[in-house]
Structure 1
Amino acid sequence: MSSERLPLRSLLFVPGTKTEWLVKAESAGADAAILDLEDAVPPVGKVTARARVADAIAGATGDMALFVRINPLDGWAAAEDLRAITHARLAGVVLPKVADPGDVLLADRLLTWCEREHGLPEGHIALVPLLESAAALRGAYDIGRAAPRVAYLGAVTGKGGDVERAIGYRWSPQGTETLTLRSRVLLDVRAAGVPCPIAGLWTNLADIEGLRAFAEQNRSLGYEGMMAIHPAHIPVINEAFSPTPEELARYARMIAAVEEAQARGAGAITFEGDMVDEAMAARARAVLRKTGMSSI
């Protein structure tokens, strides 16, 4: 199932106590919303928020993918969350405080049981482990391979968050202190075969240009999307992780040129000043497929 997950450019956190904000998330153009039952909900409000989130998922009618960040697996709240929110409309579960592959295996078993209880095919719901400790970041490869349903995995290095505390770096808008970390985790995630690696977060609500630079840096590294905390950030993130019309047109021309050369028995050719071959054409086809375009 994991290889069939839809690519997501933007995943916007929405408090589980504010499910009415889903309308804002969809209006902003978010590819997905993450309804948060963990940090965004005080202990006294957990039960009420869980019910609200379950109702919101069951009543959803739009195209935006819906995820839920459940409570940590070290208590019964996580199991209750999963039972309440499992639904055909649920795209995935965001799993916080992951320590090792064992946490992923436990969540996978619980989700499989919930899917069977609701008549859903096994693996229908994606699992998104959050790498929030040094051990989890170091074990990204094993965590990514722990279950086929793992998707949208990556390094989320927001200012002042769990990762900054765990690693001890000093956050900067340029992201130089986390560049190696994000690159290494991405390599592990790709090697594990996890589709759609995502990064994040950008917490400065007003610094849109800083967000743009950070999103473009993550895209350049190889990430395919980012988590976000405010609707105003969604258009910038979507733009950063989308190919431009000019890029798409060039890919189509490149494919045509390579295929025409192959028909003549040629391999590598010069195309618009660059040396290209079948490997580049294959990459171009993959980009066009993700955008729903044909190479013809």
Structure 2
Amino acid sequence: MSSERPSLRSLLFVPGTRTGWLAKAEAAGADAAILDLEDAVPAEDKPAARRQVAAAVAAHTGDMALFIRINPLDSWAAAEELRAVAHARLTGVVVPKVAGPDDVRLADRLLSWCEREHGLPDGHLALVPLLESAAALHDARDIGRAAPRVAYLGAVTGRGGDVERAVGYRWSPSGAETLALRSRVLLDVRAAGVPCPVGGLWTTIGDLDGLRAFAEQNRSLGYEGMMAIHPSHVPAINAVFSPNPEEIARFERLIVAVDEARARGAGAITFEGEMVDEAMAVRARAALRRAKR
């Protein structure tokens, strides 16, 4: 199932107590919304938020993918939370505070149990482990390989929060202090065969130029999308992680040129001043497929 997951450019967090904001997320153009039952919900409000989120998922009819960030899987209460929210209209579950592969395997078993209980196909629900400790970041490859349903995995760094405390970096707008970390985690995720790696976060709401530069840096590393905390960030993220018209036109020309060369029995050819071959055409075709989706 994991290899069939669609690429997602923008995954916007929405508080579990504010499910009415899903309309704002969809209006902003988010590819996905993450209904948050963890940090965004005070302890005393979690039971009510769980019911509210489950109802919102069941009532969802739009094209936007829906995820739920549950609470850490360290008690049976969290397992009951999974049972409450599992639904055919749910795309996946975001699991916080993952310590290593064993946590992923536990989440995978619980999700399989929920799928059978709700009559869903095995592997229907994607699993998004959050790498929020030094150990989890170090073991990204093993975490990515722990279950076939793992998708949308990557280094989610930012100002403050668990990752900064765990690693000890000093945040700067350029992101230079986490560049090596994001690069290494991305390589681990790709080596594990996990589809659609996503990064994040940009926490300064009003700094759209900084957000765009950070998103472009993530895209240049190989990430396919980013998590976001505010609807105003979605258009910039979508633009960065989408091929522009010029890129699409070049992909189309490149494919035609390579196909014509192959018909003549040629391999590598000169195309618009660069050497290209079938490998470049494969990448261009994949980019066009993502653009159409």
Pick the TM interval, shorter chain: over 0.9
Secondary structure at the aligned position of 2:25 is classed as: helix
Aligned to 1:122: 122
Q: What secondary structure is seen at the aligned counterpart in 2 of 1:279? A: helix
Question: In the alignment, which residue of structure 2 is the partner of 1:35?
Answer: 35
CA separation in 2, counterparts of 1:220 and 1:94? 25
For residues 195-214 of structure 1, what are the structure 2 equivalents within 5 Å? 195-214=195-214
Match of 2:177 in 1: 177
Counterpart of 1:19 in structure 2 is: 19
Structure 1 residue 187: Cα displacement: 0.1
Who is 1:90 aligned against?
A: 90
Aligned to 2:236: 236
Q: Could you list the runs of 5+ residues in structure 1 that have no partner in the other structure? A: none
* Alignment-mate amino acid for residue 125 of structure 1: L
Of the structure 1 ranges 222-231 and 259-268, higher mean CA displacement relative to structure 2 is found in 259-268
Structure 1 match to 2:193: 193
State the match for 1:275 in structure 2.
275
**Cα displacement (A) at 1:75:** 2.1
Question: 1:108 matched to which residue of 2?
Answer: 108
> Which secondary structure does the structure 1 equivalent of 2:91 belong to?
strand
**CA deviation after TM superposition for structure 1 residue 80, in Å:** 1.5
CA distance in 2, matches of 1:252, 1:69: 39
The one-letter code sitting in structure 1 at the alignment partner of 2:286 is: A
The one-letter code of the counterpart of 2:231 is P
Q: Structure 2: how far apart are the matches of 1:222 and 1:101? A: 23
Deviation at 1:292, TM superposition (A): 2.3
> d(CA) in 1 for partners of 2:220 and 2:36?
29
What number of residue pairs does the alignment pair up? 293
Q: Tell me which amino acid in the other structure corresponds to 2:63.
A: D
Kindly provide the CA deviation profile for residues 26-78 of structure 1, in whole angstroms up to 9, marking residues without a partner as x.
Answer: 00000000000000011101100000000000000110000000000112331
Aligned mates of 1:12, 1:282 — CA distance in 2: 30
Runs of 4+ deviating beyond 6 Å: none
| 2:256 alignment partner in structure 1 | 256
Task: Look up the equivalent residue of 1:75 and give its one-letter code.
Answer: S
Q: Is the partner of 1:90 in helix, strand or coil? A: coil
CA distance in 2, matches of 1:90, 1:81: 14
Equivalent position amino acid for 1:270 in 2: T
SS at structure 2 position matched to 1:172: coil
Tell me how far 1:130 sits from its aligned partner: 0.1
Task: Tell me what 1:156 maps to.
Answer: 156
Partner of 2:62: 62
The structural deviation recorded for 1:290 is 1.4
Alignment-mate amino acid for residue 110 of structure 1: L
Q: CA–CA distance in 2 between the matches of 1:53 and 1:239? A: 29
Residue 80 (structure 1) aligned with residue 80 (structure 2): yes
TM value normalised by structure 1: 0.98
Match for 2:170: what amino acid?
R
Q: CA shift at 1:158, angstroms?
A: 1.4
Aligned-residue offset at 1:260:
0.4
Q: Look up the equivalent residue of 1:119 and give its one-letter code.
A: G
Normalising by structure 2, report the TM-score. 0.99
Q: Deviations over 1:208-265 (max 9, x none)?
A: 0000000000000000000000000000000000000110110010010011011111
Give the counterpart letter for 2:64 in structure 1: M
Secondary structure class of the residue paired with 2:159? coil
Aligned-partner Cα distance in 2 for 1:77–1:253? 55
The C-alpha deviation readout for 1:128-167, integer Å capped at 9, x for no partner, is 0000000000000000000000000000001101100000
Opposite residue 27 of structure 1, the aligned amino acid is: A
C-alpha separation in 2, matches of 1:291 and 1:206: 28
Distance in 2 separating the partners of 1:168 and 1:34? 27
Give the corresponding residue for 1:46.
46
